[in-house]
Amino acid sequence: MKRFTQHMLFWPAITLALLLVASSLFNPSFLALTWRDGHLYGSVIDILNRAAPLMVVSLGMTLVIAVRGLDISVGAVVAISAAVVALMIGGSFSATGEVQSAHPLWVALTTAMAVAAACGLWNGLLVVKAGMQPIVATLILMVAGRGIAQLLTGGQIITVYYSPFFTLGNGFLLGLPVALWIAGSLWAALHLVMSRTALGLFVRSIGGNPEAARVAGVRSAAITLCVYTFCGLAAGVAGLIVSSNVKSADANNAGQLLELDAILAVTLGGTALTGGRFTLAGTVIGALIIQTLTSMIYSLGVPPEVNLVVKAALVFAVMLLQSAEFRQLVAGAARR
Amino acid sequence: MNRKLLPLTVTIVLFVAMAAFGAIRYEGFLSLQVFLNLLIDNAFLCIVAVGMTFVILSGGIDLSVGAVIALTTMISATLLDAGWNPFAAMALVLVLGAAFGALQGFLIQRFNLAPFLVTLAGMFLARGCCYLISTESIPIDDTTYAAIAQARIPVGGGSSLTIGGLIALAVVAIAMRIAHSSEFGRTVYAIGGGESSARLMGLAVDSTKIGVYLLSGACAALGGIVMTFYMLSGYSLHAVGLELDAIAAVVIGGTLLAGGVGYVAGTLFGVLILGIIQTLIAFDGSLSSWWTRIVVGALLLLFCLLQRLFEGRTPKPA
């Protein structure tokens, strides 16, 4: 029993389960799944679909935090990636009234992802080569990135009319949302790499003690660089899903406050912000907790503004639970 | 020359260079009023950035300031609507802001939590409380507030300053005195330099750490009051992202984000540089507003790289 409760995923999973139970108490049809238009349909599917971009970003953020970093530019990278893909697809109406893409879809998607990865690489270079604190290094792109995205779109919201692109954010594959497949396969791939190769061990050792890892022969600079690049790439993929979902690119609002939600998801999942200890599955659960909470607040008819206050309470609670000083205080009070 | 003064010198030289560029390029740029407007339009940013300077000097960060400003404008507008005495309302929001900051400081100090996360949650909380009060903008039609908003203090040559601008200057002056010739100020620098050594020196580390966030919360509330003079409304979407501007102003002002090194006067010039970028873009007319962000980002990069150079051979903190 003790081994069970001390598992890293125990508390995140319990939180999510409680939220799901609460949701289904308030809304009896919450857990209901029906088959409609050739795919599964229901509140749970909706939550999974909406949580997908956050999951993707948070997975990248997990690795960055695991190597004692932080990336607060992911929201801006989402905006850049969305702007690039919308511009590349363009969308002109042909004589027959059919919408055509300016570039082949795969070229547009690859370019957007490459640009996002380059943003991540830039962050990584500032951290590794210039030796800046991660929060400062990524602050630069956070401030400038949204400006760059607005520059690309000319300050306008670019609407995309090319329908094959909508599959990413709205389509279904084998009855489940395509976005969920993307997030799921990303998690599976990362999980395999981190548990079946030495990379997971290296990442943990860099986060645990960078100096010791370097002395032990771990190529920490190269690995940290890769981790930041991957985080940028993940933000780029999220940007593709978001822009596909809303069929447009809004440089000003795409991915707004996403960096905070991602850090929150990572923390909720049980990854230590001090680095070293991380759990990818926990992060996925963390993202689901945030989205379930949001959906629950909406479906309760409570003004959505309360969402922020609830989130704040959640962050305070999780932080205190992770703090050794607070646990000591509680343990001391319990003994008395 | 003192190495520590170098970033501040770079900041001032940059400001003078930008002003000179504007004066040569655009007609009517070189007037006292244009420069006073830098202060008037950025008075709240200046006040908040001064509070942020202390937080950053101590090695922390405060992301909640923008949200605290918005909450201040909301509470002020609501209280005035309910017929409160304007000065009583101002006093109350100042106390609330200070209490909010002190609470964050307590959590950071007592439970050894990351300042980034605590103030992030504080930002959610303050913004959320704004929405709880109202999602609409609340206009302020109190006569005292309107009178303060319209008051102009002539400074000669037909130019004038607002009360908000004057408050900002006063805050900078008081903060310089606190930072450089008070026990609190010295302890802040010592904590930023190394918390455990400050503790070993017998300095009041715990209370100073809480005090720094209290000061930042109070500055944010004061900034919020100045913003209500400027906007004459309370709105939950006021000052979105202001915390980033404040941090940028502090960094461009030459304060080291790792803590321990920097000057309050530098922050004033950091704010003025952010202001002059916007003014230059406005004078040009052909450049779009998003260039502000890109230029600010580029300046941040420049200053962070400069700082790394100054740190030079000192070993990188883990």
Residue whose structure tokens are 């937080």:
B55
C-alpha angle B49-B51-B56 in degrees, rounded to nearest 5: 85
Best mutation target, B61, B110, B111, to test chain A (most A CBs within 10 A)? B111
Using only the alpha carbons of chain B, give its radius of gyration: 20
| pTM score above 0.95 | no
* Residue B243, in any domain of the structure: yes
Between residues B156 and B137, which one has the greater pLDDT? B137
CATH number where B252 lies? 1.10.3470
Nearest CA in chain A to B291: A147
Task: Please report, in angstroms and rounded to a whole number, the separation of the first and last CA atoms in chain B.
Answer: 29
Q: Would you say domain A40-302 falls under CATH 1.10.3470?
A: yes
What is the pLDDT at residue B135?
82
pLDDT at B315 over 50: no
Using the beta-carbon criterion (under 8 Å), do A70 and B116 form an inter-chain contact?
Answer: yes
User: What band does B113 get if pLDDT is binned at 50, 70 and 90?
Assistant: confident
Between residues B95 and A260, which one has the greater pLDDT? B95
Instruction: Identify the CA nearest to A160 among candidates A226, A101, A117, A114.
Output: A101
Q: How far apart are CA A78 and CA A254, in angstroms?
A: 7
For A65-72, what is the mean pLDDT?
90
pLDDT at B313 over 50: no
Instruction: Give me the torsion for CA of B58, B61, B64, B70, rounded to 10°.
Output: 80
What is the pLDDT at residue A315?
77
**Amino acid sitting at position A228:** Y
* Residue B318, in any domain of the structure: no
* Residue B283, in any domain of the structure: yes
For A266-290, what is the mean pLDDT?
87
For B13-17, what is the mean pLDDT?
91
Q: Which of A251, A303, A316 sits opposite B121 (nearest CB)?
A: A316
For A121-132, what is the mean pLDDT?
90
What is the pLDDT at residue A4?
63
Report for A20-34, A116-130, A137-151, B232-246: range of highest mean pLDDT: A116-130
Is the CB of residue B118 less than 8 Å away from at least one CB of chain A? Answer: yes
Helices (H), chain A: 2-5, 10-26, 43-66, 74-89, 105-128, 134-153, 167-170, 178-196, 199-208, 210-215, 220-246, 258-268, 280-299, 306-322, 324-335
Helices (H), B111-233: 115-133, 143-150, 163-181, 183-193, 195-200, 205-231
Using the beta-carbon criterion (under 8 Å), do A308 and B113 form an inter-chain contact?
Answer: no
Half-sphere exposure (Cβ direction) of B40: Cα atoms closer than 13 Å:
20
What is the pLDDT at residue A116?
95
Residue whose structure tokens are 């953020």:
A61
Cα–Cα separations (whole angstroms), residue B232 to B75, B137, B170, B235:
13, 10, 22, 10
Q: Give the 3-state secondary structure of B156-171.
A: ECCEEEEHHHHHHHHH
CB contact at 8 A, B266 and B56: no
Is the CB of residue A140 less than 8 Å away from at least one CB of chain B? Answer: yes
For A193-199, what is the mean pLDDT?
88
pLDDT at B307 over 80: no
Is the CB of residue A70 less than 8 Å away from at least one CB of chain B? Answer: yes
For A198-218, what is the mean pLDDT?
84
What is the pLDDT at residue B317?
45
Q: Which of A70, A307, A323 sits opposite B111 (nearest CB)?
A: A323
For A135-152, what is the mean pLDDT?
88
What is the pLDDT at residue A323?
75
Q: How far apart are CA B162 and CA B221, in angstroms?
A: 18
What is the pLDDT at residue A229?
96
What is the pLDDT at residue B77?
93
The percent of residues above 70 in pLDDT, for chain B, comes to 96
- Token digits of residue A184: 């799921």
Nearest CA in chain B to A142: B297
Q: Complex ipTM above 0.85? A: no
Is the CB of residue B113 less than 8 Å away from at least one CB of chain A? Answer: yes
What is the pLDDT at residue A79?
93
**Mean of the per-residue pLDDT values of chain A:** 84
Using the beta-carbon criterion (under 8 Å), do A319 and B305 form an inter-chain contact?
Answer: no
pLDDT at A60 over 70: yes
For B116-122, what is the mean pLDDT?
87
Kindly state the helix (H) or strand (E) to which residue B14 belongs, with its residue range. helix B6-25
Using the beta-carbon criterion (under 8 Å), do B298 and A145 form an inter-chain contact?
Answer: no
CB contact at 8 A, A101 and A90: yes
User: What band does B295 get if pLDDT is binned at 50, 70 and 90?
Assistant: confident
* Residue B155, in any domain of the structure: yes
What is the pLDDT at residue A94?
57
Buried b (16+ CB within 10 A) or exposed e, A175-210: eebbbbebbbebbeebbeebeeeebbebbbbbbbeb
What is the pLDDT at residue A93?
56
Between residues A238 and B303, which one has the greater pLDDT? A238
Angle at which helix A258-268 crosses helix B115-133, to 10 degrees, equals 120
pLDDT at B165 over 80: yes
Q: Domain count for chain B, please give it.
A: 1
Closest chain A C-alpha to B155 CA, distance in angstroms: 35
Instruction: Print the domain residue range for B25.
Output: 2-313
Using the beta-carbon criterion (under 8 Å), do B111 and A326 form an inter-chain contact?
Answer: yes
* Residue B19, in any domain of the structure: yes
A159 dihedral zone (left: phi>0; alpha: psi -120 to 50; beta)? beta
Using the beta-carbon criterion (under 8 Å), do B131 and A306 form an inter-chain contact?
Answer: yes
What is the pLDDT at residue B316?
44
**Mean of the per-residue pLDDT values of chain B:** 88
What is the pLDDT at residue B318?
39
Is the CB of residue A139 less than 8 Å away from at least one CB of chain B? Answer: yes
User: What band does B270 get if pLDDT is binned at 50, 70 and 90?
Assistant: very high
